[in-house]
Amino acid sequence: MARAGVTPERVESVAAAVVDEDGWDTLTLAAVAGRLGVSVPSLYKHVDGIAGVRRALTLRAVTELGRRLVDAAVGRAGRDALGPIADAYRGFAREHPGLYAATVVAPAPGDDEHHAASDRVLMPVLAMIDGYGVPSDQAIDAARALRATLHGFVSLELAGGFGLPVDVDTSFDRTVAGLDRALSTWPSSRTRPTA
């Protein structure tokens, strides 16, 4: 008989707490079961193993990140949207470092639910990029540059990689200003700069 209070939703919530406290790579069914006070085999009544828990957390993370980016960008475009989007992205990563790590997982082929959630993350970013006048055939390139920059910054921040005695918030603001400059002067050709 299943222990009272153990549901798929509760398992997911406890797993989210585990990854935010201990890291995405440390997630095990044993850790979740221990917090719930149940045996590992009893979790299989509620979830499809560790793969099912990871997928549920990935959907949760991507959905929440998408909601935050949409909320940050509503009524804004271009330069006016960049700062709020960057702040929302960083804020989510800082509040939920384990769940944030799940957002880098690309949707599996045929996983329509994950694809739809990922599209909701991309939508406000593409609208913001469009506000800069970046040609539509280059919007994904610009979105990748933005994501790579923000991901690199927040990943280093979360890992404690900014140890110098310089204000990290100021560094982040300057990084966002650099992104603004890059998007404002987006190159129209595919040629790489030469050394």
Given a cut of 60, whether residue 99 has pLDDT beyond it is: yes
What's the average model confidence in pLDDT over 106-128? 95
Q: What pTM value is reported for the model?
A: 0.91
Q: Are 101 and 65 in contact (CB under 8 A)?
A: no
Q: DSSP letters of 5-66? A: T--HHHHHHHHHHHHHHH-GGG--HHHHHHHHTS-HHHHTTTSSHHHHHHHHHHHHHHHHHH
116 contacts: CB under 8 Å, gap ≥ 6: none
Alpha carbon distance 133, 139 (integer Å): 9
Question: Which has the minimum average pLDDT: 46-50, 83-87, 130-134, 182-186?
Answer: 46-50
Mean pLDDT computed over every residue of the chain: 93
Confidence class for position 17, pLDDT limits 50, 70, 90 = very high
pLDDT at residue 187 in the model: 86
Which among 58, 170, 37 has a CA at the least distance from the CA of 108? 58
Burial of 13 (0-12, 13-18, 19+ CB in 10 A): middle
What's the average model confidence in pLDDT over 177-194? 84
* Phi, psi for 131 (deg, rounded to 5): -65, -20
pLDDT at residue 5 in the model: 79
CB atoms within 10 A of CB 11: 23
pLDDT at residue 193 in the model: 62
What's the average model confidence in pLDDT over 118-125? 96
pLDDT at residue 121 in the model: 96
Given a cut of 50, whether residue 2 has pLDDT beyond it is: no
